[in-house]
Amino acid sequence: MRAGIKWAEKALDGLAVVLFAVMFGVVILQIVLRYVFNHPLVWTDELAQYLFVWTSFLGWTMATRKRIHIGISVVADRLPAAGRRMLHALWCAATLAFAIILLVVGVIITRRNWDVQMVSLDFSFWWVYLVVPLAALFLIGYAVRDLSEILRKGDIKVTEAQL
Amino acid sequence: MTSAMLLILGVWVVVLFLGPPIWLTMVLAGSVFVLTQHVDSIIIVQQEVSAANSFTFVAAPLFILMGHVMNNAGVTNRIFDFATAIVGWMRGGLCHANVIASMIFAGMSGSAVAEAGGLGTVEIRAMRDAKYPIDMAAGLTAAAATIGPIIPPSLPMVVYGAAAEVSVGKLFIAGVIPGVLMGLALMVLCSFMARKLGLPKGHFPTLPILWTKFREAFWALMTPVVLLAGMLSGIFTPTEAAAVATLYALILGLFVYRSFSIVRLPRLILDTIETTGVVMALVMAAKLLGWCLAISRIPQITGAALTTLSTNPIVYLLIVNVLLLFVGCFMEGIAAMLILIPILVPVAMKLGIDPVHFGLVFVLNLMIGTVTPPVGVVLYVVSNIAKISFERISRAIVPFLIPLLVVLAAITLWPPLTTWLPTLLIGR
């Protein structure tokens, strides 16, 4: 089980890096084709945008994995340990609830877009929305992980990304 | 619908201060509204995806990566040495060098934290070695780091431009004059403090030394030139400029300075994606909540309330300044921006305030918020680097807030400081 999760996370990280690299490459490609070969492509901007949608959702789950999302910690930091623990459990439950909504609605919208064509690419829009249920699954996983850690170890350590 | 949304907002504000991830509070408020008001639940996902589905936003992760690459490419040392060679001979020369280097590095990084964390390490080490008071070094470094997101490129301005539908290119150019003014204002304060504290002077550089330092920093100094020239000549959109500048930074680090190897690139990209995830979770959640606000006509109601106070643009700008400075003390800048844009921007447009002018005032306020306690992310970073307590740097920053606030007042009251340059270079 644990090995399976580690493997899924590694795969997700790898996928995200590849998608990011392609997004970066596609923007560069567009510039080179336009100015060096005077032959712009129509689909590069659109592809970069969709890859960014994927990157955003995958990055969202990674930030949840590391518990580095931004929050206002002034009040929570001054609470006794028991209060903080309860708040943390509450947020995990709330994340779980939202992730389930995201999964259900994500599946519906993904299926609805099965035969919707992208504007300049010969793909179905399905591919863009597919990241929503995928990210929702990971969010559910992390919410469950955090809840069980609070039960087992007393609390979780939450930090904040520095933007 | 309106009263339901007001009720939800009331609960939301209370929950927000209990410290959950801000994106979570926003999507929950949005979801509760959508599910109780019989709106098609598809909206929840549609709004989230449509927020990220924007070519403008593609610039955000590219600028984040560029900052990471620059900090890993050994560029910071070269820039600080170059700045020291130019102004090091003045009294309190390292203070001036600190500000100059911050202004130069601001042209290569888009975030105050990247600036404080990368360049700040070099600056504080140098000032500590030269026996400058550590509190002063830390306070100045933090204050100067806020120039980072004002001089282009800028992550907060990409987010602002995309969320408030203002041209990112214009916002970038509009940041140049305020950014330079911030640097100059800080240097004026440095001169006073240097004389009062009797800070040391460095040696006057010989021409060969000046030339060597310039040559060593030359390729790094060209980064802002590549970025700005490409954007101004209309060759690149801001997003394309971000890609080109990032590629340039990579070439610099990998082949010219050979300061890091390609094996480290995937790690840098992963860090970038994580940071992007933090930003975009907020952006997407804010889009959903903003949609719910709009459909329940909250912006009209708050707008009407705000304009009953006064319809004078100057008065409105001052109210916005006070509000944003206050909010900036407690909330991270980009999050605060995304929450307040749907409320504050429509009123500004109605009062005839220039969108670029308003954008700059908005962003500068919240960047000053990164160096005001109790929540100031740049203060955390610098207190770690300088190894002084958060309380100590919270006191040390106080004098350095004055020049920043003076520049804020200037750009608030005199719009040409922000609107003249973009109009001149890009047009209306």
What is the predicted ipTM? 0.95
A26, A66, A159, A163, best to mutate vs chain B, most B CBs in 10 Å: A163
d(CA B31, CA B29): 6
Residue with tokens 């991270």: B332
pLDDT, one tens digit per residue, over B239-281 is 999 999 999 999 999 999 988 889 999 999 999 999 999 999 9
pLDDT, one tens digit per residue, over A92-141 is 999 999 999 999 999 999 999 988 888 888 889 899 999 999 999 999 99
Number of C-beta neighbours around residue A77 at 10 A: 10
| Nearest partner of B293 among B40, B115, B30, B111, judged by Cα | B30
Confidence band, pLDDT 50/70/90 cuts, at residue B216: very high
| Partner residue opposite B273 with nearest CB, options A53, A62, A112 | A62
As a whole-number percent, the residues of chain B with pLDDT over 70 amount to 100
- For residue B66 the two structure tokens come to 């560029």
| Partner residue opposite B46 with nearest CB, options A69, A87, A109 | A109
Confidence (pLDDT) at B202:
85
A38 interface with B at CB cutoff 8 Å: no
Confidence (pLDDT) at B427:
79
Q: If you average pLDDT over residues B376-392, what whole number do you get?
A: 94
- For residue B351 the two structure tokens come to 């009062």
pLDDT, one tens digit per residue, over A54-79 is 999 999 999 999 999 999 888 888 89
Confidence band, pLDDT 50/70/90 cuts, at residue B26: very high
Query: In this complex, do B18 and A55 lie within 8 Å of one another by their Cβ atoms?
Result: no
Confidence (pLDDT) at A41:
86
Tell me, what amino acid is at A70?
A: I
Answer yes or no: are the C-beta atoms of A29 and A44 closer than 8 Å: yes
- Which residue of chain A comes nearest to B34, CA vs CA? A101
pLDDT, one tens digit per residue, over A3-56 is 888 999 999 999 999 999 999 999 999 999 988 888 888 899 999 999 999 999
d(CA B274, CA B226): 27
Label residue B329 exposed, middle or buried (CB < 10 Å: 0-12, 13-18, 19+): middle
d(CA B169, CA B186): 26
Lowest mean pLDDT among B48-57, B65-74, B311-320, B340-349: B65-74
d(CA B152, CA B188): 23
Confidence (pLDDT) at B306:
86
Confidence (pLDDT) at B428:
67
d(CA B394, CA B374): 8
Confidence (pLDDT) at B40:
92
Q: Is the pLDDT of residue B174 over 90?
A: yes
C-alpha distances in Å from residue B145, one per residue of B91, B101, B117, B150, B181: 22, 10, 9, 10, 14
For residue B47, the SS3 value is helix
Q: If you average pLDDT over residues B333-350, what whole number do you get?
A: 94
Rg (CA), chain A: 20
A138 interface with B at CB cutoff 8 Å: no
B58 interface with A at CB cutoff 8 Å: yes
Q: What's the mean pLDDT when you consider all of chain B?
A: 93
Question: A162 or A8, which is more confident?
Answer: A8
- For residue A92 the two structure tokens come to 């995990």
Counted across chains A and B, CB pairs separated by less than 8 A come out at: 190
Q: Is the pLDDT of residue B375 over 70?
A: yes
d(CA B188, CA B258): 37
If phi > 0 it is left, if psi is from -120 to 50 it is alpha, else beta; for residue B387 that is: left
Collect all residues of chain A within an 8 Å Cβ-Cβ radius of residue B58. 23, 27, 48-49, 52
Collect all residues of chain A within an 8 Å Cβ-Cβ radius of residue B20. 71, 87, 90-91, 94
Q: Is the pLDDT of residue B129 over 90?
A: yes
